[in-house]
Structure 1
Amino acid sequence: MAWNKPLPHPTDISAPYWQGLQAHEVRLQQCEQGHWLFFPRTHCPTCGSRQLAWRQVSGAGQLYTYTVARVPTLPEFTDEMPQLLAVVELDEGVHINTTLVGVEPGEIRVGQRLRPVFDERPGSATLLRYTLVESNHPGVIHADAEPEAAAACAPARQLPQVDCKDLPAMRALVSETYSDWSNAITVTQELIDQFAALSGDDYWIHTDPERARRESPFGTTIAHGALVQVLMSRLKLPMAFEVTGYHNIVNYGSDRLRFPTPVPSGCRIHARYRIKSVEQAKSGTQVTMEINIHVVGQDRPSVINDLVMLYM
């Protein structure tokens, strides 16, 4: 998987801690007087001793405090909203800043018992996250693990069939309620660059990460709106019905196409839909499907597309 978020840069002092996480171990410093230390340093802040040793601990602890961040701490974290920022008090008494996984914001309570989750990232970094002791969340998030598949990726099931010539039945599909989410895909910088080369739109806000970090209001590069729209073909919408009785489907284009919010490079997107209208046309049945593409975790869509299809 692509990874666009900041990663740690170990120093000579902190390297054993990060090496421990790579081995799926939590390691802390302890001085000769028995005091535990965190963050890593050259001397004990309690007694001043420089006789420090790295020791493996369980990593278990309790939730000391937390914040549910509904505005991303960096643009690259847009697809992780809300961020569950936490301070964990380990059983050894030290405090570690982390994020919670496998828990809903409404379930979080100060004092809950927590266990470590080792989040492997592409390259050589492993991050330490936490989840509830009783959670069924895995203890390791592998770097090559795919994001959770949505209902669209579930085993195939028999869908109700609707004849396109049965206008009342087709109009019964119209709804204000959106479908479940599709699968999710990552909009990488490589993908953005390829689209820029193909389309000729190589404006720096899309293709120059360093300049975008300095000058862009988004703090990072963003995908072209047209690219995000085109990626719809890679998102498998969880259809709740099957239209039958037609010889051909014509894509009539869009009644409305809007790009309300940007998609930062490296974020994941998914989509959902609703049937907006069904009309009898001269040559068949015209269906307008509103498709909304969102950055994962964001309420506001990045693309709104009222796609018009003619069943003939």
Structure 2
Amino acid sequence: MAWNKPLPHPTEISRPFWEGLQAHEVRIQQCDHGHWIFFPRTHCPKCGSRQLAWKAVSGNGRLYTYTVARIPTLPEFTDEMPQLLAVVELDEGVHLNTTLVGTTPEALQVGMPVRPVFDERPGTVTLLRFAPADSDHAPVIRAEGEAGQDAAPAATEPPAAPKRQISVKNLDAMKSLVSDEFSPWSNEFAVTQQVIDEFARLSGDDYWIHTDAEMAKAKSPFGTTIAQGSLVQVLSSQLKIPLDFEVVGFNNMVNYGSDKLRFPTPVPSGCKIRARSRIKSVEQVKSGVQMVMELNIHVVGQDRPSVINELVILYM
């Protein structure tokens, strides 16, 4: 997936720090009097010495302070909600602004031990994040699709439980599917700029807010390009919702349209989406049994859906 978030621009002074991260090392400066220094400078702020050397350190430290951002600090971070913004104090005493991974807001405690995590996903630079010292989070976040010895082992999926078979001829059983509770989440799908551009080419919906990244950054209220609402709706076919039932006993199943279709929140380019559903109603109609399934598509990390589609399904 193309990286759509802001990136640092190394300077001549800070370049050794970023080069260290690419080598999976945390490097900070130390003066000839033994003082550790961060952020990178040309002199020691404690003694004024200009005799500075870059040295590799463990990167271990403790959580000095943190905040949980439940509204994106920039639109591009919508898929990281909630953002765990933190200041880490390294064992050497310097403070680094960072973000936390491999944990939840409820588990955070000031003073907890943390360790470095090297995020390679941007491609052009490696970012430094931190995880709790006892977390099983991988020490390196690889670019999507890449494997490596530092990557966390893939979880073995348990065999899927057999689905309940509900006969369309049993109206009471069909009505028992109606619920206020949503299903588990589907798989995730990355809505990249390439996907948005391809949809624009096919549909003709190439308005600049979808396809012109520079103009969107300058003029859009979202600060970045966003996916077409129709595209996000269509992508529901890419999202496999793990339903625990299967309707059987019908001759034909028809997508009869939607009772309601809304696009409450945008999907910024580069975000991942996922879906869940619930059965809203079941009724006998002249041509068969009509089911209304409410399908909600969310940006990963967002509570408010990006698409609400009350899909009408007719079983005949």
Is 1:299 the counterpart of 2:296? The answer is no
Counterpart code for 1:83: Q
TM-score after normalising by structure 2 = 0.94
Is 1:170 the counterpart of 2:148? The answer is no
Is 1:80 the counterpart of 2:84? The answer is no
Is 1:181 the counterpart of 2:185? The answer is yes
Distance 2:298 2:180 in 1: 18
Distance 1:155 1:198 in 2: 38
Q: Secondary structure at the match of 1:180?
A: coil
* Residue matched to 2:123: 123
Distance 2:185 2:138 in 1: 23
Q: 2:249 aligns with which of 245, 255, 258?
A: 245
CA contact (8 A) 1:255 1:307 kept: yes
* Residue matched to 1:286: 290
How far does residue 33 in structure 1 lie from its aligned partner after superposition? Answer: 0.8
Q: Secondary structure at the match of 1:106?
A: helix
Q: Secondary structure at the match of 1:121?
A: coil
Distance 1:156 1:180 in 2: 13
Q: Secondary structure at the match of 1:191?
A: helix
1:204-219 map, 5 Å: 204-219=208-223
Distance 1:309 1:105 in 2: 40
Distance 1:121 1:20 in 2: 16
Is 1:3 the counterpart of 2:7? The answer is no
How far does residue 243 in structure 1 lie from its aligned partner after superposition? Answer: 1.2
Counterpart code for 1:210: E
How far does residue 246 in structure 1 lie from its aligned partner after superposition? Answer: 1.6
CA contact (8 A) 1:2 1:186 kept: no
Q: Secondary structure at the match of 1:175?
A: coil
CA contact (8 A) 1:175 1:274 kept: yes
Counterpart code for 2:112: Q
**More deviation, 47-56/166-175:** 47-56
* Residue matched to 1:201: 205
Distance 2:314 2:183 in 1: 21
Counterpart code for 2:3: W
Distance 1:123 1:298 in 2: 25
How far does residue 145 in structure 1 lie from its aligned partner after superposition? Answer: 5.1
Distance 1:39 1:64 in 2: 16
Distance 1:154 1:264 in 2: 33
Where does structure 2 lack aligned partners over 5 or more consecutive residues? 147-151
How far does residue 154 in structure 1 lie from its aligned partner after superposition? Answer: 6.0
Distance 1:145 1:110 in 2: 35
1:249-268 map, 5 Å: 249-268=253-272
* Residue matched to 1:110: 110
How far does residue 172 in structure 1 lie from its aligned partner after superposition? Answer: 0.4
Distance 2:204 2:86 in 1: 44
Distance 1:11 1:4 in 2: 21
Deviations 1:30-72 (A, max 9, x none): 1111111111121111111121111111100011111111111
RMSD value over aligned CA atoms?
A: 1.5
* Residue matched to 2:96: 96
1:149-160 map, 5 Å: 155-160=159-164
Deviations 1:217-236 (A, max 9, x none): 11111111000000001011
Distance 1:4 1:124 in 2: 12
How far does residue 201 in structure 1 lie from its aligned partner after superposition? Answer: 1.4
* Aligned length in residues: 307
Distance 2:2 2:246 in 1: 34
* Residue matched to 1:230: 234
TM-score after normalising by structure 1 = 0.95
* Residue matched to 1:69: 69
CA contact (8 A) 1:66 1:84 kept: yes
Q: Could you tell me the percent identity over the aligned residues?
A: 71
* Residue matched to 1:135: 135
Deviations 1:227-255 (A, max 9, x none): 00000010111111111112221110111
Deviations 1:278-303 (A, max 9, x none): 11122221111000001111111110
Distance 1:143 1:126 in 2: 10
How far does residue 155 in structure 1 lie from its aligned partner after superposition? Answer: 3.9
Distance 1:127 1:155 in 2: 37
Q: Secondary structure at the match of 1:278?
A: strand
